[in-house]
Chain A
C-alpha cells in the first residue's frame, strides 16, 4: 500500500477496531468514548438536531435521506412517546459494514443511540439486529449491559434528568425487515411486511407513535459529529455528500474488507488501497469486469466507471445509486448471467409476498434467467426480461421489487452479448470454478 493511497482513508468509526478488546467499554473509553455523550447532555436537544443537520449527514442505510431533517420531522407536541429505532438488519447482498461495526465497536453505536434519543426526546430505543448474526447480537447486548452499569443508560443519565432504555431485538430472518416499515411490523410482533405510507413513521411509526428509524452507521456517526463539530464532518466528502463512510470491498480484490473514507472517493482509489485486483491468470492484477456500488439492488457498473466519485450525486448520474457502499468486484472470470441469476434467486426467496409485481415477477424472472443460463430460450427473452423489469420497477409496494430489477436491466445493458453467448454456446461459456475465491490463478475462461 502506498502512502498516498492510505492517506485517502479517514478512519473515524473504524479507528479503534484494531485496539485490544475494542468492543469493551474500557477500551472504548480509553479511545475517547462517551465524551461526546457528556457534551451532548449539556446541549439543548434542538441544538444536537441542528448540529446533525449542519453536518450534512445523510442516511447511511442506502437512501441517503438527510438525518437531521428526519429527526426534525418528529412532532414534539405529539403526546405519545417518541421512539428511536436502529435498523441493524443488514442483509443487502455485499453489504458488510454495520455488522463489523457492531462486532468491533458496539459502544460507538450505543453512544450514538443515547445522543440521538436525547436529541429527539425518546426514552426508549430499539436496535433491530438481523437474527442470523447471533454473535453480533450478543456483543451489542453485552455493550448495552455495560452502558447500563456505567450509568450511560437507565434513569436520570449522569444527572441530566434524561431516561433511556435500549432494547436489543433479534430479527427472525427476512431481508424485507430491513425496509423500515416492515421492520416496525416485525418489532411489534407482526408479520414483516411493509406498511402503507402515509402515515410516515415520523408521525405514526412504532406502536403508532412518532419514530425515527436510522441505519447503524448513521447513528454511529453522531458521536463524532457532536465531539468534533458539524464543520469538521462537513469538511469531508463532496458538496452534497458530506462526511466519511465505510466502504465494504468484496470479491476479486486482493484485500477485501471495510475501508473508511470520505464520500466521493473513487473505486480506483479504493482498489488501490485494497492492494489492487486479485492476480489474474498471467499473474498481473485481473481486469475489473463489473461491480456494484451499493449492494445488489444498485444497478451494476463497469470498468469505465472506476473514476466516478462514490457519492450520492455521481452515482445517481451514472444511473445507479450509492446505496450501502457495498462494492462487490467481479473480474473477467465471472459470468454476469450467473451472478445476476444468483442475486435474482435471492430476491425471489426474500420477496415478502405482499404485492403482485415483486411476488410473481421474481418467480418468473428466475425461471427466464435460469433458462438463459442453461442456454435455453431465445434472444427475445432478453427483451421479455427487460419488459418484466419495467413492469416491476416502480410498480411494487416497496423498493425490494425495484432492487430485484437492478442487476438484470443493468447487466443486459452492459453485457447483452454475454447473455447471447449462452444461447449460442448452449450453456454457460465460463468455468464457474475460475471465479471462486479459491480458484487457481491459472484458471480462466473456457471460451
Chain B
C-alpha cells in the first residue's frame, strides 16, 4: 500500500508530461507547453518578439518560425510554424534554426522584414544595448541589409517622433514593430485598454484608444516589455545607456506587496527602476509608483548631516545647527534621559521601516527607554486593531498556512473589506484580475460603490456604507449566494481599524466559516513592524507584552533584567500623553502628522514634547520641530527586509552607498550606547543590518499561547450629513512620489463621488463643497450609479493637506453643498 501511495502522484505527473523531439533531443514538458518554451528546456532560444510568457499567444511577429516535420501524428506541417502558438504533442518533431535550414531562413527573412522600416537610430535609442531587436538581429539576422540596395534604393516609412501616450509614456512609432505586447498587456493584465492598434499595413501603429489617454497605474510595464525602443518614459528617456548602468535587485517600498524590482544606477544616482521577476509575488509586473517614484530620495531637501538644537534654556539661540554624529548621539541621549525622568518617552516609528529598523526601535523602546509606548501606526488605529494583529496577524505567513498570492488565484471567493487593491495594493489587484480572467474565482467587495478596479476584477459589490462593515460582514454569513466557506479568503485592509467592530467581525466570520484571513496594510514596513514588536502590546516575534513568560523570554534573550509590566500606550495615547504633559519626550521616525488620526493633535504633541529626537530622510515639519535630527538612509541606501502583506520576508541589499546617512538601527545603537553610559538601559548590542538579522534569527518567534481577541461591538453610525468614505489613490500627494512630475501627471483627478439621489438633492452642481469638523474642501462632483445613499467618497490625499487634516475622519459625517450654492 505504501509503495502504491508513493507512486501515485509520480504517475500522475508523468501522465501530464508530453515527450517530443526538438533538434534531435528528446524532451518532456507539461502538456499544453508551447514549443517555443519547450525549446528553452533543451537550451535553444528561438528568437521572438510578440511572445511573452504572461500574455496570451498572438503569433503576430512570425519571428519564432520553426520547422515541424512531424506534428506527432506522422504528418508534418508543409510550412514553418510559429513556435509561440504551437502546443507540444506527443511524438512531435521540431527543428529550430539550430538544425533546420528552413527554420533558419524563415527567421532570417522575418528579421530582414522587421528591419526594413526600423530606423537606424540605435545609437541614440534608450533600448540600444538591451534591445531584443538589436540582439536578435545580431543572432538571427543577416549582417547586410538588402533593402537599401534593392530596386532604386529602399525608402523607409517615417513618422513624426515621438507622441505622448500619457504624460509619462512616449511612443516612437518608427521604432515600433507592432508586436502588440503593450496593447495586450493593457487589455489583458492591467485591464486599461487605452492604447490600441490603428491604421493598417505598414502604417499600422499603436494609437490612443477613443481619445482616452493611457492613464493606468501599470502603464510603465509596457515600456519594459516593449522589445524595441518604441515606448520610453519621460523620466528615463535619453538619460543613460544600459551598459553604463549597474543593476541591483531590490524590493519596492511603496506598498505592502513586496514587489521585486531592479534598481539601475549610474555614478551614485538611481536612473530607473524596473520590475523584477518573482512568480510567487508580483510575477513580472509592478505599479507605476514602484517604477517611477524614486526621486524623493535625492531631492534638495534630503537631510545631509545630524543637527542639534541649541536650546534657549541652555543659553543657545534656539536654532538647529549641524552637529557631528557623536555629538548628536550624546545630545539625544542626554535629552531622552531627562525626558525619561520627566514622565517617559514615546516612540512613533511610522510604517515605512525595514523589519530590521523596526526591530531596533522595538528593542530601543524596551531596553533603552524602558517603555512599551511604541506604535508604528501613523494613521487611524484602535486597540481592537492591536488585538487583531496580535491574535490573527503576527507570526502568520504562507509557510504556516497563511494566505499567499497564489491562494488569491485558487480561492473560490475573495472578500475585500476596507481595501481597494487597485489603489492600495497593486500586485494584489493584478492577481485578482488574473484569477477573474481565468474564471477561477470571484471577488466580493464590501465597499460603498463599484470601483473601476472592482469592475476590472469582475467583482461583485456588497454595498456597504462607511461604518457598516461589521453588519455587512455578519450579513455574508447568512447569505447563501455568497457561499463563504473554507475556500474563501478575506482580505482585510488597514482602514478597518477606523471602524469599531469591523476587525472583530472579520475574525468572527473566519471562525464561523473556516475562511482564511489576511490583513493588508498600505505601507511596506507595516507588516514587518508587527513582527518586530513596534506595538504597545507586542514584543518582537509576536510575544505578547501582557504575557509574563513572553516578557521574560525577550528580556533573557536581550540580557536585561526585566521588561516593564505596564502596558504601553498606542500612538493616539502617546500623542494625548505628550499634550497632557504625561510624557516628557518623543522619538519619531518617518511620521507625517497629516497621516495620523488627528493631525492637529499630533502637531500639538510634537510642540508640547519636552524633547524630540527625529530620524528622517528629508527636511519636514517634524525634523524642524525636533531637538535632535538624524539623517537616515533611504531604502536604496541600506540593506533591509520588508514583509509582504502575506508575512513573506523580502530581504534586499543596499544599492548605493550612503556617505551622509545611517540606517535607523545604527542611529538607535549610537543613542543607546550613550544612554547606557548615562546609566540608562543597555547598549542595543548591534550596529549593522547583519547584526540585527542575526539577533532576530536568534530570538525567533514566540511559541507560547497567542493572545485572544476581545470582540468589540459596532458603534452606531447615524448622524447628520453624509458618511465620509475615503482612501488614498495610488498616485496622489504622497511625499514619496515627490520629484517626478510626469508620474504626478498620471494621477487620477480628485473628485467627490455621490449617489444619483444625493446629486439630485444637491441640485446637480459641477462641484461640491464638503465640510467636516476639520475643514472644508471643494472638488468636482461625480455621480456614481451604485453609490450607497448617504455616502460621499473623496480621495484621502489628493488635495491640500488631505482629508484627515482638512476635512474629517473617515466614516464621520460631513455636510455637502453645491459649490457656489
Given the complex of chains A and B, what is the CA–CA distance between A387 and B146 in angstroms? 11
Q: B113-136 vs A: 1/0 string, CB under 8 Å? A: 110110000000000000000000
B735 at the interface (CB under 8 A from A): no
- Chain A contacts of B106 at CB under 8 A? 391, 395
Beyond A363-B202, A364-B113, whether A395 also contacts B65 by CB under 8 A is: yes
Looking across the interface, which residue of chain A has its beta carbon closest to that of B155? A367
Q: Which of B113, B146, B151, B200 contacts A360 (CB 8 A)?
A: B113
- Chain A contacts of B65 at CB under 8 A? 395
User: B117 touching A363 by the CB < 8 A rule?
Assistant: yes
A353 at the interface (CB under 8 A from B): yes
B59 at the interface (CB under 8 A from A): yes
Given the complex of chains A and B, what is the CA–CA distance between A397 and B177 in angstroms? 15
B523 at the interface (CB under 8 A from A): no
Beyond A368-B151, A374-B152, whether A357 also contacts B197 by CB under 8 A is: no
Given the complex of chains A and B, what is the CA–CA distance between A312 and B16 in angstroms? 42
- B79-100: which have CB < 8 Å to A? 79-80, 85
User: B201 touching A376 by the CB < 8 A rule?
Assistant: no
- Chain A contacts of B151 at CB under 8 A? 367-372, 376-377, 381
- Chain B contacts of A174 at CB under 8 A? 200
By secondary structure, the B interface counts as loop
Within the complex, the shortest CB–CB distance from A175 to chain B, in Å, comes to 10
Cross-chain pairs A/B with CB under 8 angstroms, 17 sampled: A196-B59, A348-B202, A351-B201, A353-B201, A354-B60, A356-B60, A356-B113, A359-B113, A359-B178, A363-B157, A364-B147, A371-B152, A377-B150, A387-B109, A394-B79, A395-B65, A395-B109
Looking across the interface, which residue of chain A has its beta carbon closest to that of B59? A196
User: A351 touching B200 by the CB < 8 A rule?
Assistant: yes
Given the complex of chains A and B, what is the CA–CA distance between A367 and B151 in angstroms? 7
B475 at the interface (CB under 8 A from A): no
Given the complex of chains A and B, what is the CA–CA distance between A371 and B151 in angstroms? 5
Sorting the interface of chain B by its residue count into under 10, 10 to 19, 20 to 34 or 35 or more gives 35 or more
B717 at the interface (CB under 8 A from A): no
Q: B173-200 vs A: 1/0 string, CB under 8 Å? A: 0000110000000000000000011011
User: B201 touching A391 by the CB < 8 A rule?
Assistant: no
Looking across the interface, which residue of chain B has its beta carbon closest to that of A363? B202
By secondary structure, the A interface counts as helix
- Chain A contacts of B202 at CB under 8 A? 348, 351, 353, 359-360, 362-363
Q: Which of B62, B80, B157 contacts A355 (CB 8 A)?
A: B62
- Chain B contacts of A369 at CB under 8 A? 151
A352 at the interface (CB under 8 A from B): yes
Given the complex of chains A and B, what is the CA–CA distance between A397 and B85 in angstroms? 11
- Chain B contacts of A264 at CB under 8 A? none
Given the complex of chains A and B, what is the CA–CA distance between A404 and B742 in angstroms? 45
B57 at the interface (CB under 8 A from A): yes
Within the complex, the shortest CB–CB distance from B376 to chain A, in Å, comes to 50
Within the complex, the shortest CB–CB distance from B632 to chain A, in Å, comes to 52
Sorting the interface of chain A by its residue count into under 10, 10 to 19, 20 to 34 or 35 or more gives 35 or more
Q: Which of B147, B178, B200, B204 has the most CB of A within 10 A?
A: B200
B78 at the interface (CB under 8 A from A): yes
B61 at the interface (CB under 8 A from A): yes
Q: Which of A174, A353, A381, A390 has the most CB of B within 10 A?
A: A353
User: A391 touching B109 by the CB < 8 A rule?
Assistant: yes
A441 at the interface (CB under 8 A from B): no
A238 at the interface (CB under 8 A from B): no
Within the complex, the shortest CB–CB distance from A54 to chain B, in Å, comes to 27
B700 at the interface (CB under 8 A from A): no
- A314-358: which have CB < 8 Å to B? 348-357
Q: A283-308 vs B: 1/0 string, CB under 8 Å? A: 00000000000000000000000000
Q: Which of A191, A363, A397 has the most CB of B within 10 A?
A: A363
B154 at the interface (CB under 8 A from A): yes
A245 at the interface (CB under 8 A from B): no
- Chain B contacts of A357 at CB under 8 A? 62, 109-110, 113
Given the complex of chains A and B, what is the CA–CA distance between A371 and B178 in angstroms? 27
B41 at the interface (CB under 8 A from A): no
Q: Which of A364, A377, A390 contacts B116 (CB 8 A)?
A: A364
A396 at the interface (CB under 8 A from B): yes
- Chain B contacts of A372 at CB under 8 A? 151
Within the complex, the shortest CB–CB distance from B241 to chain A, in Å, comes to 28
B58 at the interface (CB under 8 A from A): yes
| Complex A-B, nearest 9 residue pairs according to Cβ-Cβ distance, in ascending order | A353-B204, A391-B109, A371-B151, A394-B79, A360-B113, A376-B152, A371-B152, A368-B151, A351-B201
B63 at the interface (CB under 8 A from A): yes
A361 at the interface (CB under 8 A from B): yes
- Chain B contacts of A361 at CB under 8 A? 113
Given the complex of chains A and B, what is the CA–CA distance between A224 and B177 in angstroms? 49
- Chain B contacts of A15 at CB under 8 A? none
- Chain B contacts of A367 at CB under 8 A? 150-152, 154-155
User: A355 touching B201 by the CB < 8 A rule?
Assistant: no
- A150-170: which have CB < 8 Å to B? none
Q: Which of A353, A368, A390 contacts B200 (CB 8 A)?
A: A353
User: A360 touching B60 by the CB < 8 A rule?
Assistant: no
Looking across the interface, which residue of chain A has its beta carbon closest to that of B199? A353
User: A350 touching B63 by the CB < 8 A rule?
Assistant: no
Within the complex, the shortest CB–CB distance from B587 to chain A, in Å, comes to 60
User: B79 touching A353 by the CB < 8 A rule?
Assistant: no
User: B109 touching A397 by the CB < 8 A rule?
Assistant: no
Within the complex, the shortest CB–CB distance from A317 to chain B, in Å, comes to 16
Given the complex of chains A and B, what is the CA–CA distance between A196 and B82 in angstroms? 11
A134 at the interface (CB under 8 A from B): no
B253 at the interface (CB under 8 A from A): no
- Chain B contacts of A392 at CB under 8 A? 109
- Chain A contacts of B147 at CB under 8 A? 364
Within the complex, the shortest CB–CB distance from A191 to chain B, in Å, comes to 6
A384 at the interface (CB under 8 A from B): yes
Within the complex, the shortest CB–CB distance from B767 to chain A, in Å, comes to 36
Looking across the interface, which residue of chain B has its beta carbon closest to that of A390? B109
User: A356 touching B154 by the CB < 8 A rule?
Assistant: no
Looking across the interface, which residue of chain A has its beta carbon closest to that of B82? A397
Given the complex of chains A and B, what is the CA–CA distance between A376 and B152 in angstroms? 6
User: A352 touching B201 by the CB < 8 A rule?
Assistant: yes
User: B199 touching A364 by the CB < 8 A rule?
Assistant: no
B387 at the interface (CB under 8 A from A): no
Looking across the interface, which residue of chain B has its beta carbon closest to that of A174? B200
- Chain B contacts of A377 at CB under 8 A? 150-152
User: B79 touching A395 by the CB < 8 A rule?
Assistant: yes
B627 at the interface (CB under 8 A from A): no
User: A355 touching B146 by the CB < 8 A rule?
Assistant: no
User: B201 touching A395 by the CB < 8 A rule?
Assistant: no
B664 at the interface (CB under 8 A from A): no
B112 at the interface (CB under 8 A from A): yes
Q: B591-604 vs A: 1/0 string, CB under 8 Å? A: 00000000000000
Given the complex of chains A and B, what is the CA–CA distance between A349 and B59 in angstroms? 22
- Chain A contacts of B58 at CB under 8 A? 196
Q: B129-161 vs A: 1/0 string, CB under 8 Å? A: 000000000000000001100111011010000
- B12-48: which have CB < 8 Å to A? none
- Chain A contacts of B60 at CB under 8 A? 354-356, 397
Within the complex, the shortest CB–CB distance from B178 to chain A, in Å, comes to 6
Looking across the interface, which residue of chain A has its beta carbon closest to that of B201? A351
Given the complex of chains A and B, what is the CA–CA distance between A350 and B155 in angstroms? 19
- Chain B contacts of A390 at CB under 8 A? 105, 109
Given the complex of chains A and B, what is the CA–CA distance between A196 and B87 in angstroms? 13
User: A356 touching B152 by the CB < 8 A rule?
Assistant: no
Q: Which of B63, B78, B114 contacts A394 (CB 8 A)?
A: B78
Q: A380-402 vs B: 1/0 string, CB under 8 Å? A: 01001001101110111100000
Within the complex, the shortest CB–CB distance from B112 to chain A, in Å, comes to 7
Given the complex of chains A and B, what is the CA–CA distance between A363 and B204 in angstroms? 12
Looking across the interface, which residue of chain B has its beta carbon closest to that of A354? B60
- Chain A contacts of B59 at CB under 8 A? 196, 355, 397
B513 at the interface (CB under 8 A from A): no
Given the complex of chains A and B, what is the CA–CA distance between A80 and B203 in angstroms? 38
Within the complex, the shortest CB–CB distance from B69 to chain A, in Å, comes to 15
- Chain A contacts of B204 at CB under 8 A? 352-354, 359
Given the complex of chains A and B, what is the CA–CA distance between A387 and B147 in angstroms? 12
Within the complex, the shortest CB–CB distance from B613 to chain A, in Å, comes to 62
